[in-house]
Amino acid sequence: MASPENCIEESKSSLTRLAPLEAVLFDIDGTLCDSDPLHYLAFRELLQQIGFNGGNPITEEFFIDTVAGKHNNDIAVALFPGELERGLKFLDDKEAMFRRLAAEQLKALNGLDKVRKWIEDRGLKRAAVTNAPRPNAELALSKLGLSDFFQAVIIGDECEHAKPHPEPYLKGLEALKASKDHTFVFEDSVSGIKAGVAAGMPVIGLSTRNPEHLLMGAKPTFLIKDYDDPKLWAALEELDKSGSH
C-alpha cells in the first residue's frame, strides 16, 4: 500500500494540465451529500413490502451492485425483468419515500463548504450533473443551500443517454460554455466516474460508500474520502500555482 504521503505527492500534479481552470462539475447523490443510506432504506423497505427476494431485506452489497449510481430505467429492468411499467411505478414510490427521508435527514459531505468557497473565490463555473430525477436533485440542492451555487443542473433523464454515457457531462460543459481541457469532475459511483472519464475529463472519485477497488476500476484520477482530504487540497494548491485564477 502506498503511504498517505506518497498518495499526496502523486495526486499533487494530477490536475495541473487543466490550468487555467474554468469549471468544476459535481454529481449530487453521494458526492454533495451522503444520500445512499436513505436510498438504501427506501429500497429495502418497499421491496420487502412487496415480498421481493422472498420477503428478505436486500443487502448493502445487492444495493451497490444493482442500484447505486444507476439510472432508474436500468434499475427497473434489473429488479423487475420483463415488467418495466411495474418497475417504473415502484421507483416512483421509492423516490417519493426517499424525498420524505431526505427532507428530514440530508446532510452535506464533510468539507463541502470549503470546496464551495474555493470555487467561488476563483470565480469558476459550476454545474451539477446527476442521474437522479429532477425533483430529487432540486430537493437535495435546496436542502444543502446550493440552489444558487450551480449555474446549471443536468438531469440524466432529460438527456438521450444517462450516465455511464458521457452525454450528461458533455451537456454540462455545453451549458457552462466550458472546455473539457480546463474542467474536472467530482463523482462517487462507478457509472458516474466512467461518464466523466468518457467525456474526456479528470474525475476525482469520492469513496463515500462504494468500495475503493470498484471505483478505481472506472479510472478516476485519484480517490478522496471527502472534501477535507489532504490529497484534494495538495492537488488544488498545485493547480493554483500552475496559473489558475
Q: Does 27 participate in catalysis according to the annotation?
A: yes
Tell me which of 27, 34, 36, 188 is the catalytic residue. Answer: 27
Q: Kindly state whether residues 173 and 220 are assigned to the same domain.
A: yes
Give, as one character, the DSSP assignment of residue 108. Answer: B
Q: Indicate whether this model's pTM tops 0.75.
A: yes
- Over residues 181-209, the pLDDT tens digits come to 999 999 999 999 999 999 999 999 999 88
Q: Kindly state whether residues 15 and 128 are assigned to the same domain.
A: yes
Q: Kindly state whether residues 152 and 231 are assigned to the same domain.
A: yes
Instruction: Write the CB contacts of 94 (distance below 8 Å, at least 6 apart in sequence).
Output: 39, 42, 43, 46
C-alpha cell at 33: 451529500
Determine whether 3 is exposed, middle or buried from the number of CB atoms within 10 Å of its CB (0-12, 13-18, 19+).
exposed
Tell me which of 29, 34, 36, 188 is the catalytic residue. Answer: 29
CATH code of 234's domain: 3.40.50.1000
Alpha helices in 2-111 (DSSP H): 4-12, 36-49, 60-66, 72-79, 84-105
CA distances to 12, 111, 231 from 7, rounded to whole Å, are 9, 19, 7
- Over residues 143-182, the pLDDT tens digits come to 999 999 999 999 999 999 999 999 999 999 999 999 999 9
Query: According to the model, what pLDDT value does residue 22 have?
Result: 97
Instruction: Write the CB contacts of 24 (distance below 8 Å, at least 6 apart in sequence).
Output: 119, 124, 125, 126, 183, 184, 185, 186
With H, G, I as helix, E, B as strand and everything else as coil, classify residue 87: helix
C-alpha cell at 6: 506518497
Q: Kindly state whether residues 141 and 184 are assigned to the same domain.
A: yes
CA dihedral 158, 29, 202, 148 (to 10 degrees): 70
pLDDT band at residue 244 using 50, 70 and 90 as cut-offs: very low
Q: Kindly state whether residues 123 and 177 are assigned to the same domain.
A: yes
Q: Kindly state whether residues 141 and 157 are assigned to the same domain.
A: yes
Question: Looking at 77, 105, 133, which one is the last position of a domain?
Answer: 105
Q: How many Å from the N-terminal Cα to the C-terminal Cα in the chain? A: 35
Q: Kindly state whether residues 87 and 150 are assigned to the same domain.
A: no
With H, G, I as helix, E, B as strand and everything else as coil, classify residue 2: coil
Determine whether 127 is exposed, middle or buried from the number of CB atoms within 10 Å of its CB (0-12, 13-18, 19+).
buried
Q: Kindly state whether residues 156 and 235 are assigned to the same domain.
A: yes
Question: Looking at 105, 126, 147, which one is the last position of a domain?
Answer: 105
pLDDT band at residue 60 using 50, 70 and 90 as cut-offs: very high
Q: Does 240 participate in catalysis according to the annotation?
A: no
Instruction: Write the CB contacts of 98 (distance below 8 Å, at least 6 apart in sequence).
Output: 35, 38, 39, 42, 136
Q: Kindly state whether residues 177 and 67 are assigned to the same domain.
A: no
CB 160 within 8 A of CB 166: no
The number of domains in the chain is 2
pLDDT higher than 50, residue 43 = yes
Task: Supply the range of the domain harboring residue 100.
Answer: 36-105
As a whole number, the mean pLDDT across the chain is 94
Share of the chain above pLDDT 90, in %: 87
Q: Kindly state whether residues 25 and 43 are assigned to the same domain.
A: no
Q: Kindly state whether residues 163 and 205 are assigned to the same domain.
A: yes
Q: Kindly state whether residues 161 and 218 are assigned to the same domain.
A: yes
> Vertex 162, ends 219 and 76: CA angle to 5°?
110
The DSSP result for 165-179, as a single string, is: SSHHHHHHHHHHT--
Share of the chain above pLDDT 70, in %: 97
Please state the three-class secondary structure of 180-237 as a single string. HHHEEEEECCHHHHHHHHHCCCCEEEECCCCCHHHHHHCCCCEEECCCCCHHHHHHHH
Size (the chain), residues: 245
Query: According to the model, what pLDDT value does residue 79 have?
Result: 96
Question: Looking at 105, 130, 157, which one is the last position of a domain?
Answer: 105
CB 58 within 8 A of CB 179: no
- Over residues 108-155, the pLDDT tens digits come to 999 999 999 999 999 999 999 999 999 999 999 999 999 999 999 999
